[in-house]
Structure 1
Amino acid sequence: MSSAPSMRVSEQEHFHLEDTSDIERSIWVLNPPNPPPLRNKLFSPLKKTVSFFSSKKKTCLGHAVSFLESLFPILTWFTNYKASKFKEDLLAGLTLASLSIPQSIGYANLAKLDPQYGLYTSVVPPLIYAVMGSSREIAIGPVAVVSLLLSSLVPKVVDPAVDPDAYRNVVFTVTLFAGIFQAAFGIFRLGFLVDFLSHAALVGFMAGAAIMIGLQQLKGLLGITHFTNKTDVISVLESVYKSLHQQITSGEKWYPLNFVIGCSFLIFLLIARFVGRRNKKLFWLPAIAPLLSVILSTLIVYLSKADKNGVNIIKHVKGGLNPSSVQQLQFHGPQVGQAAKIGLISAVIALTEAIAVGRSFASIKGYHLDGNKEMLAMGCMNIAGSLSSCYVATGSFSRTAVNFSAGCQTSVSNIVMAVTVFLCLELFTRLLYYTPVAILASIILSALPGLIDISEACYIWKVDKFDFLACIGAFLGVLFESVEIGLLVAVSISFAKILIQSIRPGIEVLGRVPRTEAFCDVSQYPMATSTPGMLVIRISSGSLCFANANFVRERILKWVAEEENELAKGRVQAVILDMSNLMNVDTSGILILEELHKRLLSRGVQLAMVNPRWLVIHKLKVAHFVDKIGRQWVFLTVAEAVDACLSSKFPDP
């Protein structure tokens, strides 16, 4: 019995809301809650970072546990870790190590460092990430793109051929700065800074970098001794031609065995890669093929004494645990600023690749990857790496794919991989003495096809031509100039796209769709009809500001003039601005609205506003613009505004 009266009350309230007058509905628009103050927007990222302290129900121990679990995600799942999972992680880690060892040596060579530094980078950073990272599949270590980035930017500070020790010290300093920037991005939730390098720009950058990396390997593949320090395609090809021509004309002997060994094993690696892609059960074949190539080529060179016949070999590789590099970091002199700049660029590129790789595999497994935690983990591992003779490490797409295919369950596979690489440093580095340099070149070349995504570039062209400009701009910039120029071109085109969209926002003329109360763009919906004497306009922009306000005013006045020139439709009596898409307005935008109102009044045209957002209506009220046009000319819906204008009598101008 008691439920019936309450139901009648709710029904009465429902009908009361439906019968609410237009005046009351306008009051809802005019009196929203005050928008949050500016300090909330500025400090909300920091508040979210330390939000666990705000819970009054937690004890000090609870706060400490929450903090540790947030900082070390391994604590949340390791207590439930089972032997069956370890078995799969062990197999994945060993498979990953078989690929990481030869690749790490090759990428160190690409970064113009001694081979052991690539192996060092596959020990400490993966261990740090395993306890701090939130991705289960991502494989940490040196990657080709970052290695190319360092080899193209750091030599402008210190020439590795003149002073290799100083070059190595600058690389360690760059790694420290990269880690500091990455950790800061995570702590202050500044991950949006990484998004300035758009997906399209990244596709073009990766493709251009892949070709440049491939051209850089011609030195090892052909056994060239004199090679350019520049990275653009013209300089590299010119250097190859001059070196070969000089060797032929000067009588200096060229040893084709480097080319023969490199190409033979490159064909083997590509075939293994092809077979592994066609048959998912043979995923281990392309994973162990690089290590197998190193073992076989080393045996061939050792047994045939090919190093006496001109085959370039690695020679001494320093083994043992990662030595400390604290004393080698450079914090004085003019090199520090350059190292910080290179560190920032490296941090952004490394984060972009790692987060893209991690999220793609996380989506397959059906879990969410926290970008800010990933940034913090990447930053801490690179800071630790810079103190232990490592250079910038990040997530590798090719090794992550192998880790995923091998059935990894958790980041323990990274620990297994790091321990295996450490054992290699302790026990087997002497066996690498006779490893031919051409094999390292072939291993790097075999990994490059995964960086060139032609189908994605075609997709970008079909979907968004402006995005394709950023893609091709990054590609050509890297290919014909340098890595930083390619990045600059890509970011500049992306900013130009945003700027053009800001200064030329969408302004649509709306009409009523037949048999509905909906008002839609007449260009998209030709059946929509405009109301005689009414010009309904929607500003499809997030902001009405100094950059686009004049454009909006001139476009509206032009449409009003065009409507009035069509005598069959009569004089325009009202302009209705649909502001439902407008999120913000600045002082320039308010001044333009006031000027537009005056210009329209001089023509005898009334200005009405529909559904301004709470920040917009707050600023318009503070600026007294609402009082100038009249509170009765602010409406909740376009249909209400049109009906109100139709029922009003407008004086002649």
Structure 2
Amino acid sequence: MAAATIKLGKRIIGYPEERVPVISVQEWADKTFTDPLHTLLQYLSSLFPIIGWASRYNLGWASGDVVAGLTVGLVLVPQSMSYAQIATLPPEYGLYSSFVGVLIYCFFATSKDVSIGPVAVMSLTVSQIIRFVNEHHPDEWSGPQIATTVAFICGFIVLGLGLLRLGWLVEFIPAPAVSGFMTGSAINIVSGQVPGLMGITGFDTRAATYKVIIDTLKGLPRTKLDAAFGLTALVSLYIIRFVLERLSHRYPRRARLFFFISVMRNGLVIIILTIASWLYTRHRRSAHGTYPIKILGTVPRGFKHIGQPIIDKKLISVLAPELPVATIILLLEHIAISKSFGRVNGYKINPNQELIAIGVTNTIGTVFGAYPATGSFSRSALQSKSGSRSPAAGLFSAIVVIVALYGLTPAFYWIPTAALSAVIIHAVADLVASPKQVYSFWRVSPLEFVIWLAAVLTTVFSTIENGIYASIAASLVLLLVRVARPRGHFLGKITVHADDKSREVYVPLKPDSGVMNPHMKVHPPAPGVVLYRFEESYLYPNSSLVNDAIVDFVKQRTRRGKDMSSIKASDRPWNDPGPANGGADDSQDDKKPVVRAVVLDFSAVSHIDTTGVQSLLDTRVEVERWADGPVEFHFACILSPWIRRALIAAGFGTGTPSAKLPQEIAPVVPDHDGYLSSDSDITDESLGYAHGKDAGPLVPSATPFFHFDLAAAVRAAESGVNHEPTLGDTD
């Protein structure tokens, strides 16, 4: 088979003369699934990223990981017990979750900074799930069993998503929606911890946020001695952080020292208040076994609940309505955090592998009695600032947790719970979006600011579950609206002069004053030529809108090809009443040209579907009916072989007369009686199988109406001849 070739430097690009290169499904499959065994081995090795960096581990990395791991561990111990308190679980379950999280994650991680363990939002969700189950099935299952079942099922779901490489689903949830429900959740958690901070009891702290705030204000007269410990802890935490930040700015050479002292503030405050609690309460135990303040109580030493998790099928069916939101929070918070630190520290995370990591962590964690764990923003930021060099930093954090579980549990007995509430408030308050961040949402996209605000208000006045569902639903609606109502422009051209050279640039006929100089004069293309640029893929939600825009523009700017002035009203189509009261027919205005060509810029089109192709066919039919003759359709900058394949299947690009092309690419109503069919005969030649010439076009000569760039498409449309540029000579 002879082939026309194009010389480009030292490379030669060839096109077979007898066939236009249209990608086939078989060719795509052969290219994609070449050497399946190698692909399988590559996939299996990718499940354990530690293989890639463990062999290069060195003492330099170890020094950074030891410091970062121990630092995070010292924060992790008090935080994990505090978060278990949010989840309405005994404190040891927080330690179990934190140990498994930091230990298992390092084997599957693609982020060196993320620290997995109990987090505030997930803990609050677990508490709401436990409450939901107990309301419908009181005393049937214990809180720890419910929590570990949630961890197992959600972990298994997330693991499946990662193995199936479905991590891209997370991309459908935008940053404002995540920030909105995180802010609302933080407000929810803080409001729920204030009563514990003040020693106020007598109402449900798991109710809607606004109710908790109201009940707390009403209960202020019932404040107990716990407030002395709680307020002291909270004020001390903020004073220490503020003072050390100021000292770091004043003495930058000692900034790292001040940073590590600041990191220790949680542990330092807990230690001091635990000693104070022991000194004050040890001789004040009442006859009922209570103390003047609420203390943590007995924390079992070691892993007392290790073993096979008890997974009850009936419990799973009861949990079913609550599992989606738990799964979303589990994966969403982690992916958002890992991506954030990847951007800051200059490495790329693999969302699918991260899903596998938290999936494995949670499923294995149920063996140790852990409840759901995911990435923590505060501890991940701490690990990053402490100088972690690899995911192995988590191993040293696990060592700290083990030491605490086996050596410090007797001391945990005297920790005042008000101090733990202070630790929670201090940590969670940082999750509330700052005014600067909220204002940036407004400046970038006012609609996304509305989504953020809706997520916050829904969370505050309803539940976290409703807040995350509302934010995701609003984001998807906004996405669909943007796809269904895309912006498109009819183009003209201007001449730009630079460096003693001039060139033509295609811009909207009506340029936006906020983007371009409103005083410049845009020249329309040659009479009878319509130039339109898409700003979105051409899909079923927006294809009808684009069709209407092009047809309406053609009818407004060009005259009808057939003279209708002498046509009686009774002979006109029912939808064409003609001029009113015998006036002039605007469609016959001789000052307007007859449409000759339509040029479509596909540079922003990445996908086209069957409905979109059918819409283009409808556009061609309506435009040619208006022109009462053939109209050329030129396409510029087609970047996808699948778009090219779809257009050729509909008869575009080949130059075949419209009379021989289909009017429907996929009829909705089958035409069994021949009412809808025409005399057209779709041949291989009309689909692009044509003999080539001895020229060397930049694009195949069998599709003369597909053009490499917009300028070539416009030249061809204005001249009626294909002026596609060529490269070199042909053989």
How far off its partner does 1:569 sit?
A: 4.6
Residues 1:53 and 2:35 are matched in the alignment: no
> Among 525, 530, 544, which residue is 2:524 paired with?
530
Q: Which moved more, 1:422-431 or 1:508-517?
A: 508-517
The residue type equivalent to 1:616 in the other structure is I
Shift in CA distance, 634/90, structure 1 to aligned 2, threshold 3 Å: closer
Query: Which residue matches 1:287?
Result: 263
The C-alpha deviation readout for 1:486-509, integer Å capped at 9, x for no partner, is: 111111111111111121122210
How far off its partner does 1:145 sit?
A: 1.4
How is 1:133-172 mapped onto 2 (pairs within 5 angstroms)? 133-159=109-135, 163=139, 165-172=141-148
Q: Which moved more, 1:597-606 or 1:292-301?
A: 597-606
Q: Which has the larger radius of gyration?
A: 2
Query: Which residue matches 1:59?
Result: none
Overall identity of the aligned pairs, in %: 27
Query: Which residue matches 1:392?
Result: 372
Shift in CA distance, 114/14, structure 1 to aligned 2, threshold 3 Å: closer
Q: Which moved more, 1:563-572 or 1:428-437?
A: 563-572
How far off its partner does 1:95 sit?
A: 1.8
Query: Which residue matches 2:608?
Result: 585
Query: Which residue matches 1:34?
Result: 23
Residues 1:608 and 2:588 are matched in the alignment: no
Query: Which residue matches 2:506?
Result: 519
Q: Could you tell me how far apart the structure 2 residues matched to 1:275 and 1:74 are?
A: 40
Contact 2:65 2:389 in 1 (8 A): yes
Query: Which residue matches 2:299?
Result: 317
> Among 132, 141, 162, which residue is 1:186 paired with?
162
Q: Which moved more, 1:309-318 or 1:152-161?
A: 152-161
Query: Which residue matches 1:261?
Result: 229
Q: Which runs of 4+ in 1 moved over 6 A?
A: 15-18
Query: Which residue matches 2:693?
Result: none
The C-alpha deviation readout for 1:185-219, integer Å capped at 9, x for no partner, is: 22111111112221111111111111111001023
How far off its partner does 1:159 sit?
A: 4.5
Contact 2:198 2:226 in 1 (8 A): yes
Query: Which residue matches 2:455?
Result: 474
Q: Which moved more, 1:492-501 or 1:561-570?
A: 561-570
How far off its partner does 1:307 sit?
A: 6.7
Contact 1:324 1:389 in 2 (8 A): yes
How far off its partner does 1:118 sit?
A: 0.4
How is 1:138-537 mapped onto 2 (pairs within 5 angstroms)? 138-159=114-135, 163=139, 165-228=141-204, 230-241=206-217, 244=219, 254-278=222-246, 279=248, 280-281=255-256, 282-305=258-281, 310-321=292-303, 323-324=305-306, 326-330=308-312, 332-333=313-314, 335-340=315-320, 342-454=322-434, 455-514=436-495, 515-522=502-509, 523-524=511-512, 526-531=520-525, 532-537=527-532
Q: Could you tell me how far apart the structure 1 residues matched to 2:602 and 2:43 are?
A: 43
The C-alpha deviation readout for 1:457-516, integer Å capped at 9, x for no partner, is: 211211112222222121111111111111111111111111111211222101123242
How far off its partner does 1:170 sit?
A: 1.7
Shift in CA distance, 602/130, structure 1 to aligned 2, threshold 3 Å: closer
The residue type equivalent to 1:269 in the other structure is L
The residue type equivalent to 1:590 in the other structure is V
How is 1:533-548 mapped onto 2 (pairs within 5 angstroms)? 533-545=528-540, 547-548=541-542
Shift in CA distance, 261/15, structure 1 to aligned 2, threshold 3 Å: closer
The residue type equivalent to 2:306 in the other structure is S
CA RMSD of aligned residues (A): 3.4
Contact 1:255 1:311 in 2 (8 A): no
Contact 2:309 2:369 in 1 (8 A): no
Query: Which residue matches 1:60?
Result: none
The residue type equivalent to 1:618 in the other structure is R
> Among 68, 73, 89, which residue is 1:113 paired with?
89
Q: Which moved more, 1:405-414 or 1:144-153?
A: 405-414
Shift in CA distance, 529/641, structure 1 to aligned 2, threshold 3 Å: same
Contact 2:305 2:368 in 1 (8 A): yes
TM-score, normalised to structure 1's length? Answer: 0.85
Shift in CA distance, 367/544, structure 1 to aligned 2, threshold 3 Å: closer
Contact 1:358 1:369 in 2 (8 A): yes
Q: Could you tell me how far apart the structure 2 residues matched to 1:166 and 1:197 are?
A: 34
Query: Which residue matches 2:621?
Result: 598
How far off its partner does 1:379 sit?
A: 1.0
The residue type equivalent to 1:617 in the other structure is R
The residue type equivalent to 2:598 in the other structure is V
Q: Could you tell me how far apart the structure 2 residues matched to 1:160 and 1:92 are?
A: 44
How far off its partner does 1:408 sit?
A: 2.4
3-state SS of the aligned residue for 1:536? strand
Contact 1:191 1:371 in 2 (8 A): yes
How far off its partner does 1:350 sit?
A: 2.7
3-state SS of the aligned residue for 1:513? strand
How far off its partner does 1:634 sit?
A: 4.5
Q: Could you tell me how far apart the structure 1 residues matched to 2:369 and 2:123 are?
A: 15
Contact 1:183 1:376 in 2 (8 A): yes
Number of residue pairs matched?
Answer: 609
The residue type equivalent to 1:619 in the other structure is A
How far off its partner does 1:156 sit?
A: 1.5
Shift in CA distance, 51/260, structure 1 to aligned 2, threshold 3 Å: farther
Provide structure 2 residue ranges, at least 5 long, that are not aligned to the other structure: 249-254, 496-501, 559-585, 662-702, 722-731
Contact 2:148 2:309 in 1 (8 A): no
Shift in CA distance, 456/505, structure 1 to aligned 2, threshold 3 Å: same
3-state SS of the aligned residue for 2:348? coil
The residue type equivalent to 1:381 in the other structure is T
Shift in CA distance, 410/641, structure 1 to aligned 2, threshold 3 Å: closer
Q: Could you tell me how far apart the structure 2 residues matched to 1:213 and 1:307 are?
A: 31
Q: Which moved more, 1:586-595 or 1:441-450?
A: 586-595
Q: Could you tell me how far apart the structure 2 residues matched to 1:421 and 1:160 are?
A: 36
How far off its partner does 1:517 sit?
A: 4.2
Contact 1:160 1:167 in 2 (8 A): no
How far off its partner does 1:445 sit?
A: 0.6
Query: Which residue matches 2:251?
Result: none
Q: Could you tell me how far apart the structure 2 residues matched to 1:51 and 1:262 are?
A: 61
Q: Could you tell me how far apart the structure 1 residues matched to 2:285 and 2:316 are?
A: 41
The C-alpha deviation readout for 1:377-407, integer Å capped at 9, x for no partner, is: 1111111012211011122111122222222
Provide structure 1 residue ranges, at least 5 long, that are not aligned to the other structure: 1-10, 56-62, 249-253
> Among 600, 617, 623, which residue is 2:644 paired with?
617
